[in-house]
């Protein structure tokens, strides 16, 4: 996997957050990037692609990493290369991990609930 390419996508277009119950990493981009989204879903096991959506004059896909995919694949990968992230993106990543009780050192926490301390 091209780690630099993936990190660049996350820095430029990614959202680190959640729905209050479980954390998620989301990329939302125009439908013209469909090939890129197909690459993401084949490269990141367990990630999902939604769409295409057409509303409000916008045509886009949405890619998401949640659950085991997020905790076992994405968080350890991003954490291992955190020094490459700009301060803003690193802060968003850290906030997601803290809010949902994920150890950025290698996943952790159960379900979507914050880990007990």
User: Count of domains in the chain?
Assistant: 1
- The model's pLDDT over 30-64, given as tens digits with 9 standing for 90+, comes to 999 999 999 999 999 999 999 999 999 999 999 99
* CATH number of the domain within which 95 lies: 3.10.28.10
Per DSSP, 117 falls in state -
What's residue 112's pLDDT?
38
Domain membership of residue 83 (yes or no) is yes
Domain membership of residue 43 (yes or no) is yes
Query: Which domain does 36 fall in, by range?
Result: 3-99
Domain membership of residue 45 (yes or no) is yes
Domain membership of residue 105 (yes or no) is no
- The model's pLDDT over 55-112, given as tens digits with 9 standing for 90+, comes to 999 999 999 999 999 999 999 999 999 999 999 999 999 999 999 999 976 444 443 3
What lies within 8 Å, CB to CB, of 71 at 6+ separation is 23, 102, 107, 108, 109
Torsion of CA 104, 95, 23, 80, to 10 degrees: -30
């Amino acid at each position: 996997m091209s780690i630099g390419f993936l990190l660049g996508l996350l820095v430029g277009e990614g959202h680190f957050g959640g729905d209050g119950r479980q954390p998620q990493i989301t990329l939302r981009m125009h439908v013209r990037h469909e090939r890129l989204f197909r690459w993401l879903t084949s490269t990141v096991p367990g990630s999902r692609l939604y769409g295409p959506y057409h509303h409000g004059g916008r045509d886009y896909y949405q890619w998401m990493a949640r659950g085991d995919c997020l905790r076992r694949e994405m968080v350890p990968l991003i954490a291992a290369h955190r020094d490459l992230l700009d301060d803003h993106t690193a802060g968003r990543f850290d906030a997601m991990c803290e809010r949902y009780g994920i150890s950025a050192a290698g996943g952790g926490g159960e379900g979507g609930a914050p880990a007990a301390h």
